[in-house]
Chains A and B, each alone.
Chain A
C-alpha cells in the first residue's frame, strides 16, 4: 500500500480492516505480515484519500 504524506494516522482504515493488518502508531502506519486480500476497504474509508494500491 502506498501511504501519502496526507495520512493523519487517525486509524479509521485499521478499524475496518477485516484482517486486522494495520498498525497505527503515533506517526506511523504499517501493514502487517499476514497476506492482504486486496479488499481495498481501507482505501474507501480514508477521510483524506491517503491510501493507494501499489503498481
Chain B
C-alpha cells in the first residue's frame, strides 16, 4: 500500500467555487497563472444559500453575457411592504435598485462560472475540503481531504472564497470572525403556487416579521419564488426557521404555496473586513464580508472582488513577489470601488432597523402612490423627515 501523501503544487489555489471564487480563478488563469480551484461539495452551486437576485449592470460590468440557462426571471420593479400591509412600488428606471434585475438559478449559474474558470485554464477539484492551512516562507501549505484521500497542496497564493465560515482568513491570521450581531441568519423556501401581485417585482417586507433584517419574495417565473427572511438572532427569541413559518402562514402571496426546497445560510452584514489580504493570502466574497449591509446581497460585489484578486494574483506570480505589499493592490482597488456605497448602505440599514412597526407604517403611508420619477433626493428626504424626524440625523449625510 502506498502511504505517501499526494502533494500538488500550484501558483494560485482558490478555496471555494462560489461566484467570487470562480471569478478569481478565471481571472488568475487568464493572467497566465497556474490555478487550482477546489470546492468541498460534490456539485458546485448546490445547495444554494441565497435569494438569487443580481443587478443587470453588475453582471455587465463583470463582462458576463446573460444566459437563459441561468436566468430564472427578469425583474424591473420592487414592492416594499410595511408591517400592516401598506405597499410602496419602485420602478427600476426611476430608482437605482441594488440586487434587482435578474433572479438567477444559482445552482446553474455557479456551475457555469466555474466552467468559465476551467475554460480560462483553471483546474477544478470537487469534493475537496480544506482542513488546515499554514503560512510558510514563500508559499502556503494546505492540507485537504479530496474524494476521501488526504492530500497536501503547496501554493504560492491562496484565495479564500470559503463563504461566511471563512476559515481560511483566520488560519492566515486575518480577523475574519463575524460578531453574532453582524451575522444574519437567512432561511428560505423555494415555493410553487405563489400568488404574486406582479411576477416582475421583488418584494420586501419590513418590521417585526424579521427582526434585524427583512423578509423577501424573489420571483423565479410563473408561480415560483424564493420566499425567505433574515434575522439577527439577538433581536428575537424565535429562531429564523420559526419566523419563516410565521411569515409564510401570514403572507397573502403564500397562502396556497408549497415548498420544494429549504435553504439556510449566514449572511455577514457588518461590512467588509478591515483587512482581507496578508502575505500570500487574499479573501474574496462573503469570506471578506463583501456583502451589501442593507440588502444582504453579495454576488456582484464578491465577483468584483474575485476579478480584481485574480488579476492581482496573476501579476504577483509573474513578478515573483506574493507578499502583502504586492497583493495589497487588490484591497485598495476593491475599497475604492465599494466603500463609499457600503458606508451609505450601512447608515440606511441602521436607520431602517431603528424603526418600529408603527413608524414603518406611517412612512409607507406617506410614500404610497408616490411618483418617484418626479422626486429628487432632497425632496424625498424632506418628505421622509416630515413623518420620521430622526431620518434627518440618521440619513441626512448620505443624501
Contacts and interface: CB of A to CB of B under 8 A. Distances in A.
A16 interface: yes
Nearest to A20: B170
Nearest to B268: A15
Given A16-B177, A16-B266, 11 more contacts: A14-B166, A15-B163, A15-B164, A15-B266, A15-B268, A20-B177, A24-B165, A25-B40, A45-B185, A46-B185, A48-B187
Given A10-B264, A45-B183, A15 B239 contact: no
Nearest to B126: A26
A4 interface: no
A23 B145 CA distance: 12
Contacts of B234: 44
B-side interface mostly:
mixed
A47 B165 contact: no
Nearest to A17: B177
B305 interface: no
B41 A26 contact: yes
Contact of B180 (A14, A22, A44, A49): A44
B150 interface: no
Contact of A48 (B40, B47, B177, B264): B264
What band does the interface of chain B fall in when counting residues whose beta carbon is under 8 Å from A?
20 to 34
A47 B265 CA distance: 8
Interface string B24-53: 000000000000000011100001010000
B240 A41 contact: no
Count chain A CB atoms within 10 A of each CB in B179, B186, B241, B262 and give the residue with the most: B241
Interface of B: 40-42, 47, 49, 127, 129, 131, 163-167, 170-171, 177-180, 183, 185-187, 233-234, 239-241, 262-266, 268
A44 B181 CA distance: 11
A38 to B, nearest CB: 15
Nearest to B186: A47
Interface in A2-44: 8, 10-12, 14-18, 20, 22-26, 41, 44
B185 A16 contact: no
Contacts of A16: 177-180, 183, 266
B232 to A, nearest CB: 9
A12 B241 contact: no
Nearest to B129: A25
Given A10-B265, A20-B170, A23-B131, A47 B178 contact: no
Contacts of B41: 26
Nearest to B164: A15
A14 B187 CA distance: 17
A41 B177 CA distance: 12
